Structure 1
């Protein structure tokens, strides 16, 4: 296995992690921004007001996209295991 193969393998792994984490992070970011704007306009500074909506939206996104995330990660893992014999040469 050459340096180029290892680099490609690492790039694909990083891309897979970013692809799977992006929907969760973006949804939490959007909800946090909306809650922060609401807190700034109403002068309510309750800590749980920022935490609870983020947890709820992350659970909803996981509920909707969990199947896709699991199958994508499973496909990537199967590809990695199929590459093991060529790495041993």
Structure 2
């Protein structure tokens, strides 16, 4: 196993991780920004007011993008497992 192969597998893994985590992260970031603006405008600083909408948005995004995320991960794992014979031998 050469160092280039290890770096390629690691790079593909990190890229897959960023692609899969991207939708949830962006939605939670947007909801957090909206909630923060709302809290600043109304002077309401309740911790649960910022936590619950982000949690609900994360679950909704996971429900909508979950099948795509799962298929992306399965494709990556399948490609890694199929490349084992060429990497090892």
Q: TM-score range by the shorter chain?
A: over 0.9
CA distance in 2, matches of 1:12, 1:88: 18
Pair 1:77 & 2:77 matched: yes
Unpaired runs of 5+ in structure 2? none
Structure 1 segments of 4 or more deviating over 4 A? none
The aligned residue for residue 21 of structure 2 is 21
How many residues are matched?
89
CA distance in 1, matches of 2:16, 2:53: 26
The aligned residue for residue 31 of structure 1 is 31
TM-score when normalising by structure 2: 0.96
The aligned residue for residue 50 of structure 1 is 50
TM-score when normalising by structure 1: 0.96
